[in-house]
Amino acid sequence: MINKENIVPVFEKMLSRSDRENKLKQHAVCLWFTGLPGSGKSTLAIEVEKQLQKKGHTTVLLDGDNVRSGLNSDLGFSEEARTENIRRVAEISKLLISQGIITLNCFVSPTNAQRKMAEKIIGKNDFRLIWISTPAEVCEERDPKNHYKKAKQGKIDKFTGVSSVFEKPLSFYLEVPAHQLSIKESAAIIVKAVLPVIQNK
Protein backbone atom coordinates (compact mmCIF):
# COMPACT_ATOMS: atom_id res chain seq x y z
CA MET A 1 0.00 0.00 0.00
CA ILE A 2 1.29 3.46 -0.92
CA ASN A 3 1.69 5.81 2.02
CA LYS A 4 -0.15 9.12 1.58
CA GLU A 5 3.13 10.86 2.40
CA ASN A 6 4.46 9.57 -0.95
CA ILE A 7 1.69 11.28 -2.94
CA VAL A 8 3.04 14.50 -4.43
CA PRO A 9 0.51 16.60 -6.41
CA VAL A 10 1.91 18.53 -9.37
CA PHE A 11 -0.87 21.08 -9.78
CA GLU A 12 1.52 24.03 -9.64
CA LYS A 13 3.46 22.67 -12.64
CA MET A 14 0.40 22.36 -14.85
CA LEU A 15 -1.03 24.97 -17.19
CA SER A 16 -2.72 27.55 -14.96
CA ARG A 17 -6.46 27.93 -14.58
CA SER A 18 -6.30 31.52 -15.79
CA ASP A 19 -4.50 30.41 -18.97
CA ARG A 20 -7.21 27.84 -19.61
CA GLU A 21 -10.01 30.31 -18.86
CA ASN A 22 -8.47 32.86 -21.21
CA LYS A 23 -8.39 30.26 -23.99
CA LEU A 24 -12.01 29.28 -23.35
CA LYS A 25 -13.05 32.93 -22.87
CA GLN A 26 -14.98 32.23 -19.67
CA HIS A 27 -14.71 32.15 -15.90
CA ALA A 28 -15.39 28.65 -14.56
CA VAL A 29 -17.87 28.07 -11.73
CA CYS A 30 -20.02 25.22 -10.44
CA LEU A 31 -23.78 25.61 -10.73
CA TRP A 32 -25.08 23.18 -8.12
CA PHE A 33 -28.76 22.31 -8.61
CA THR A 34 -30.45 21.02 -5.44
CA GLY A 35 -34.07 20.07 -4.89
CA LEU A 36 -36.41 17.17 -4.22
CA PRO A 37 -36.53 14.16 -6.54
CA GLY A 38 -38.76 15.10 -9.45
CA SER A 39 -38.30 18.85 -8.90
CA GLY A 40 -36.88 19.29 -12.41
CA LYS A 41 -33.16 19.62 -11.64
CA SER A 42 -31.83 17.54 -14.52
CA THR A 43 -34.36 18.74 -17.09
CA LEU A 44 -33.60 22.34 -16.19
CA ALA A 45 -29.82 21.88 -16.11
CA ILE A 46 -29.92 20.29 -19.56
CA GLU A 47 -31.74 23.34 -20.92
CA VAL A 48 -29.36 25.74 -19.14
CA GLU A 49 -26.39 23.90 -20.63
CA LYS A 50 -27.90 24.14 -24.12
CA GLN A 51 -28.35 27.89 -23.74
CA LEU A 52 -24.82 28.37 -22.40
CA GLN A 53 -23.35 26.26 -25.19
CA LYS A 54 -25.17 28.40 -27.77
CA LYS A 55 -23.47 31.41 -26.23
CA GLY A 56 -20.08 29.76 -26.72
CA HIS A 57 -19.40 28.44 -23.23
CA THR A 58 -17.70 25.12 -22.45
CA THR A 59 -19.60 23.07 -19.89
CA VAL A 60 -19.91 19.63 -18.31
CA LEU A 61 -23.15 18.34 -16.77
CA LEU A 62 -22.89 15.91 -13.85
CA ASP A 63 -26.20 14.18 -13.11
CA GLY A 64 -26.96 12.08 -10.05
CA ASP A 65 -28.24 8.97 -11.86
CA ASN A 66 -25.46 9.12 -14.45
CA VAL A 67 -22.75 9.35 -11.80
CA ARG A 68 -24.28 6.56 -9.71
CA SER A 69 -24.42 4.28 -12.76
CA GLY A 70 -20.66 4.59 -13.21
CA LEU A 71 -18.17 6.37 -10.97
CA ASN A 72 -20.24 5.96 -7.80
CA SER A 73 -21.90 2.62 -8.59
CA ASP A 74 -20.26 1.18 -5.48
CA LEU A 75 -22.22 3.51 -3.18
CA GLY A 76 -25.53 2.78 -1.50
CA PHE A 77 -28.00 5.22 0.03
CA SER A 78 -27.01 5.33 3.68
CA GLU A 79 -26.26 8.79 5.06
CA GLU A 80 -22.54 8.02 4.88
CA ALA A 81 -22.78 6.80 1.27
CA ARG A 82 -24.82 9.83 0.20
CA THR A 83 -22.23 12.13 1.75
CA GLU A 84 -19.41 10.26 -0.02
CA ASN A 85 -21.34 10.56 -3.30
CA ILE A 86 -21.44 14.34 -2.90
CA ARG A 87 -17.79 14.51 -1.79
CA ARG A 88 -16.60 12.70 -4.91
CA VAL A 89 -18.70 14.83 -7.21
CA ALA A 90 -17.42 18.01 -5.55
CA GLU A 91 -13.82 16.85 -6.05
CA ILE A 92 -14.51 16.16 -9.73
CA SER A 93 -16.11 19.58 -10.08
CA LYS A 94 -13.08 21.20 -8.49
CA LEU A 95 -10.81 19.51 -11.04
CA LEU A 96 -13.03 20.55 -13.95
CA ILE A 97 -13.14 24.14 -12.74
CA SER A 98 -9.34 24.15 -12.51
CA GLN A 99 -9.42 23.34 -16.25
CA GLY A 100 -11.62 26.37 -16.90
CA ILE A 101 -14.78 24.32 -17.45
CA ILE A 102 -18.20 25.37 -16.12
CA THR A 103 -19.91 22.49 -14.31
CA LEU A 104 -23.64 21.97 -13.85
CA ASN A 105 -24.33 19.50 -11.05
CA CYS A 106 -27.77 17.92 -10.51
CA PHE A 107 -27.88 16.23 -7.10
CA VAL A 108 -30.62 16.06 -4.49
CA SER A 109 -27.89 16.72 -1.87
CA PRO A 110 -30.64 16.79 0.77
CA THR A 111 -28.81 18.26 3.77
CA ASN A 112 -27.27 21.64 4.39
CA ALA A 113 -24.18 19.86 5.71
CA GLN A 114 -23.67 18.10 2.36
CA ARG A 115 -24.10 21.31 0.40
CA LYS A 116 -21.70 23.11 2.73
CA MET A 117 -19.14 20.35 2.27
CA ALA A 118 -19.43 20.65 -1.51
CA GLU A 119 -19.00 24.41 -1.27
CA LYS A 120 -15.91 24.00 0.92
CA ILE A 121 -14.29 21.54 -1.49
CA ILE A 122 -15.11 23.51 -4.63
CA GLY A 123 -14.44 26.89 -3.05
CA LYS A 124 -16.90 29.56 -1.95
CA ASN A 125 -16.07 31.84 -4.89
CA ASP A 126 -16.69 29.07 -7.43
CA PHE A 127 -19.85 27.56 -5.93
CA ARG A 128 -23.35 28.72 -6.88
CA LEU A 129 -26.22 26.87 -5.21
CA ILE A 130 -29.41 26.89 -7.26
CA TRP A 131 -32.46 25.70 -5.36
CA ILE A 132 -35.22 24.24 -7.52
CA SER A 133 -38.01 24.80 -5.02
CA THR A 134 -40.76 22.65 -6.53
CA PRO A 135 -42.99 21.55 -3.60
CA ALA A 136 -43.13 17.91 -2.52
CA GLU A 137 -46.77 17.49 -3.57
CA VAL A 138 -45.96 18.63 -7.11
CA CYS A 139 -42.92 16.35 -7.31
CA GLU A 140 -45.02 13.42 -6.12
CA GLU A 141 -47.76 14.23 -8.61
CA ARG A 142 -45.21 14.25 -11.44
CA ASP A 143 -43.29 11.22 -10.13
CA PRO A 144 -41.54 10.72 -13.51
CA LYS A 145 -39.66 7.64 -12.28
CA ASN A 146 -42.50 6.26 -10.12
CA HIS A 147 -40.18 6.55 -7.11
CA TYR A 148 -42.57 8.29 -4.70
CA LYS A 149 -45.17 5.57 -5.23
CA LYS A 150 -42.61 2.81 -4.73
CA ALA A 151 -41.21 4.52 -1.62
CA LYS A 152 -44.66 4.76 -0.06
CA GLN A 153 -45.17 1.08 -0.83
CA GLY A 154 -41.93 0.32 1.00
CA LYS A 155 -40.16 -0.79 -2.17
CA ILE A 156 -37.53 1.99 -1.94
CA ASP A 157 -35.83 2.58 1.38
CA LYS A 158 -34.63 6.00 2.57
CA PHE A 159 -36.17 7.91 -0.32
CA THR A 160 -35.79 11.69 0.02
CA GLY A 161 -39.14 13.39 0.45
CA VAL A 162 -40.85 10.27 1.82
CA SER A 163 -38.70 8.28 4.25
CA SER A 164 -35.64 10.54 4.26
CA VAL A 165 -35.47 14.26 5.02
CA PHE A 166 -34.81 17.11 2.59
CA GLU A 167 -33.58 20.26 4.33
CA LYS A 168 -34.45 23.56 2.71
CA PRO A 169 -31.24 25.45 1.91
CA LEU A 170 -30.24 27.95 4.57
CA SER A 171 -28.70 30.12 1.87
CA PHE A 172 -28.54 29.93 -1.92
CA TYR A 173 -27.44 31.89 -4.97
CA LEU A 174 -30.77 31.57 -6.72
CA GLU A 175 -34.19 30.05 -6.03
CA VAL A 176 -36.18 28.86 -9.03
CA PRO A 177 -39.87 27.90 -8.54
CA ALA A 178 -39.77 25.63 -11.58
CA HIS A 179 -43.33 24.42 -10.98
CA GLN A 180 -44.62 27.90 -11.76
CA LEU A 181 -42.63 28.44 -14.96
CA SER A 182 -41.85 26.68 -18.20
CA ILE A 183 -38.48 24.98 -18.59
CA LYS A 184 -37.25 27.67 -20.95
CA GLU A 185 -38.44 30.45 -18.63
CA SER A 186 -36.73 28.84 -15.64
CA ALA A 187 -33.53 28.30 -17.62
CA ALA A 188 -33.54 31.88 -18.86
CA ILE A 189 -33.65 33.15 -15.26
CA ILE A 190 -30.61 31.06 -14.38
CA VAL A 191 -28.65 32.00 -17.50
CA LYS A 192 -29.34 35.69 -16.94
CA ALA A 193 -28.09 35.41 -13.34
CA VAL A 194 -24.89 33.50 -14.16
CA LEU A 195 -23.75 35.23 -17.34
CA PRO A 196 -22.12 38.14 -15.47
CA VAL A 197 -20.32 35.58 -13.27
CA ILE A 198 -18.92 33.38 -16.06
CA GLN A 199 -17.80 36.20 -18.35
CA ASN A 200 -14.00 36.24 -18.50
CA LYS A 201 -13.00 39.69 -17.28
Question: Distance between CA 15 and CA 21 in Å, rounded?
Answer: 11
**Helix, strand or coil, per DSSP, at residue 54:** helix
Q: How far is CA 103 from CA 60, 68, 110, in A?
A: 5, 17, 19
Indicate which residue of 39, 93, 98, 109 is catalytic. Answer: 109
**Helix, strand or coil, per DSSP, at residue 182:** coil
Q: Cα angle vertex 122, ends 109, 107, to 5°?
A: 20
Q: Is 98 a catalytic residue?
A: no
**Helix, strand or coil, per DSSP, at residue 108:** coil
| Half-sphere exposure for 100 (CA within 13 Å, toward CB) | 17
Active-site positions?
Answer: 109
